[in-house]
C-alpha cells in the first residue's frame, strides 16, 4: 500500500552530447540516435515530498528552486505529469512539493532541463518502488530514463554514466528510442573520466528554446540528410570509442557540433547561436592543437557556450592552456571544470 507522506531525494548530473539529438516526433521520440558523456559537477539535486491527496483527482504542485518559490515552473511540471500519468497512475493521488537546486548558477547558460527532469523522474521511481518493493534495479533505472525522456528528451541520458546512447541504432544492441542505455562495449581507457571544461561565453537566455529548435527540423530542407549523418557518425564513433583513435574522435565530435549549428543557420526562421567569442575560442583550440599535438577539441550545445573536451592524461597541460588563453573569453572568467562520471545517485 502507498504511504500517506514520504519524501525522496536524488542528485542527477547534466550531460554533453557527442552525437547530437536535434529533431523529434511526438512523444519525444528522437529522429536519430545520440550519445553523450554524463557529467559530474554540473548537477541538479531534487527532493520531492509526496503527500497523499484524498479529496482531489489532480495533484497540487509546488516548486522551489535555490530557495525561491517558482510558480512559473508549475505548468511545465503539470504537463510532464500529465504525459507520464498513464505509466505512473499512483502519482495522481499525491501532492508534490518539489525542492530543487542546481550546482551551477541559475541562468548561467547551462541547461538544467536534463539534470532536473532526470532527478525528478528518479524521485518518482523511488515512490513507485515503495509500491512495488520487488522492482529490480535495472528496471528502476530504465523506467526512470523513460520517464525523464518524456520531460526533456536529453534527460534520459542523465540517469547513468559514463557514456549513454539514446535512440535505436543498428550497431548498438538494445538501443531504444524510449530510454537511454549505458554504452556497454569496452571503451579505450583514454575515454575514462574524460575532461569537459565548460566555458560560459554567454550567460544570456537561450535564443532558441529546444522545443522551437526541434520543431524547426520538421520542414527543414536538410533534415533527412542530417538524421542519416548523425546515425553514420554514431557508427563511426562506436569504433573510435573502442580503438581510442583520438584523431577521428575529434573530427566526429567537432563536426557534430558544427552540424547542429548549421541546422539552425539554415532553418526558417534562421538563427546564429554562436557569439564572436565562441569563434575566438574555437580558433584558439585549433591553433593550440596544431602547435602542440595535444588532442583537445570542442563541442557546442544549442547556444554560445563551448565545451572543451580532452583526455584526463592531458589535464595539466590543457587546464593551463584554458586558464591562459580561453578564460578571458568567458563572462566574468566563468568556467566549470567538469568531467565524465557515473550518473545519478540518491542523497
Which residues lie near ligand PMV (CB under 6 A)?
17, 20-22, 34, 113, 152-154, 210, 260, 301-302
Minimum CB separation from ligand PMV for residue 209, in Å? 8
Minimum CB separation from ligand PMV for residue 70, in Å? 18
Minimum CB separation from ligand PMV for residue 62, in Å? 24
Q: Which is nearer to ligand PMV, 113 or 142 (CB)?
A: 113
Minimum CB separation from ligand PMV for residue 149, in Å? 9
Among residues 213, 9, 197, the alpha carbon closest in space to that of 120 is found at: 9
User: Pairing relation of β-strands 297-300 and 306-310?
Assistant: antiparallel
Distance, CA of 185 to chain centre: 21
Q: Which is nearer to ligand PMV, 303 or 311 (CB)?
A: 303
Among residues 301, 304, 334, 339, the alpha carbon closest in space to that of 318 is found at: 339
Q: Which residues contact 222 (CB under 8 A, 6 or more apart)?
A: 262, 263, 266
Q: Which is nearer to ligand PMV, 18 or 282 (CB)?
A: 18
Paired residues of 10 in beta bridges = 46, 346
Q: Which is nearer to ligand PMV, 217 or 281 (CB)?
A: 217
Minimum CB separation from ligand PMV for residue 122, in Å? 17
Query: Using alpha carbons only, what angle is made at residue 38 by residues 76 and 322, rounded to the nearest 5 degrees?
Result: 110
Among residues 38, 20, 335, the alpha carbon closest in space to that of 198 is found at: 335
Minimum CB separation from ligand PMV for residue 216, in Å? 12
Among residues 230, 234, 238, 141, the alpha carbon closest in space to that of 186 is found at: 238
Minimum CB separation from ligand PMV for residue 152, in Å? 4
Q: Which is nearer to ligand PMV, 22 or 329 (CB)?
A: 22
Paired residues of 101 in beta bridges = 45
Minimum CB separation from ligand PMV for residue 89, in Å? 25
Q: Which is nearer to ligand PMV, 211 or 320 (CB)?
A: 211
User: Quick one: cell of 2?
Assistant: 502507498
Q: Which is nearer to ligand PMV, 35 or 48 (CB)?
A: 35
Minimum CB separation from ligand PMV for residue 261, in Å? 10
d(CA 213, CA 253): 20
Among residues 315, 21, 10, 11, the alpha carbon closest in space to that of 164 is found at: 21
Q: Which is nearer to ligand PMV, 321 or 341 (CB)?
A: 341
Residue whose entry in the numeric block shows the C-alpha cell 586558464: 323
User: Quick one: cell of 209?
Assistant: 528554446
Minimum CB separation from ligand PMV for residue 162, in Å? 16
Q: Which residues contact 332 (CB under 8 A, 6 or more apart)?
A: none
Q: Which is nearer to ligand PMV, 127 or 172 (CB)?
A: 172
Q: Which is nearer to ligand PMV, 125 or 260 (CB)?
A: 260
Give the alpha-carbon dihedral of 231, 232, 238, 244, to 10 degrees. -140
Paired residues of 180 in beta bridges = 166
Would you call 158 helix, strand, or coil by DSSP? Answer: coil
Q: Which residues contact 238 (CB under 8 A, 6 or more apart)?
A: 171, 172, 185
Amino acid at each position: 500500500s502507498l504511504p500517506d507522506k514520504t519524501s525522496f531525494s536524488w542528485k542527477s548530473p547534466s550531460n554533453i552530447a557527442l552525437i547530437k539529438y536535434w529533431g523529434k516526433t511526438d512523444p519525444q521520440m528522437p529522429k536519430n540516435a545520440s550519445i553523450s558523456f554524463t557529467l559530474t559537477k554540473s548537477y541538479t539535486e531534487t527532493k520531492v515530498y509526496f503527500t497523499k491527496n484524498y479529496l482531489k483527482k489532480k495533484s497540487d504542485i509546488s516548486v522551489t528552486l535555490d530557495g525561491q518559490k517558482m510558480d512559473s515552473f508549475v505548468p511545465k511540471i503539470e504537463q510532464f505529469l500529465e504525459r507520464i500519468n498513464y505509466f505512473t497512475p499512483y502519482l495522481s493521488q499525491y501532492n508534490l512539493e518539489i525542492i530543487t537546486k542546481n550546482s551551477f548558477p541559475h541562468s548561467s547558460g547551462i541547461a538544467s532541463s536534463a539534470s532536473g527532469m532526470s532527478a525528478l523522474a528518479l524521485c518518482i521511481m523511488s515512490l513507485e518502488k515503495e509500491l512495488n518493493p520487488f522492482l529490480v534495479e535495472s528496471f528502476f533505472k530504465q523506467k526512470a530514463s523513460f520517464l525523464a525522456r518524456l520531460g526533456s528528451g536529453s534527460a534520459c541520458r542523465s540517469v547513468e554514466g559514463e557514456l549513454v546512447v539514446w535512440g535505436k541504432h543498428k550497431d548498438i544492441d538494445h538501443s531504444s528510442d524510449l530510454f537511454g542505455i549505458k554504452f556497454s562495449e569496452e571503451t579505450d581507457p583514454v575515454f575514462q573520466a574524460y575532461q569537459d571544461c565548460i566555458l560560459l561565453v554567454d550567460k544570456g537566455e537561450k535564443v532558441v528554446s529546444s522545443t522551437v529548435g526541434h520543431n524547426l527540423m520538421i520542414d527543414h530542407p536538410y533534415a533527412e540528410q542530417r538524421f542519416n549523418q548523425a546515425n553514420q557518425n554514431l557508427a563511426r564513433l562506436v569504433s573510435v570509442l573502442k580503438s581510442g583513435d583520438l584523431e577521428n574522435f575529434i573530427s566526429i565530435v567537432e563536426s557534430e557540433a558544427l552540424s547542429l549549428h548549421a541546422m539552425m543557420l539554415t532553418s526558417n526562421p534562421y538563427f546564429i547561436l554562436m557569439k564572436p567569442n565562441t569563434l575566438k575560442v574555437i580558433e584558439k583550440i585549433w591553433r593550440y592543437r596544431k602547435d602542440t599535438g595535444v588532442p583537445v577539441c570542442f563541442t557546442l550545445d544549442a547556444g554560445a557556450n563551448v565545451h572543451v573536451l580532452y583526455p584526463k592524461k592531458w589535464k595539466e597541460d590543457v587546464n593551463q592552456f584554458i586558464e591562459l588563453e580561453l578564460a578571458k573569453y568567458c563572462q566574468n572568467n566563468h568556467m566549470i571544470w567538469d568531467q565524465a562520471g557515473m550518473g545519478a545517485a540518491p542523497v
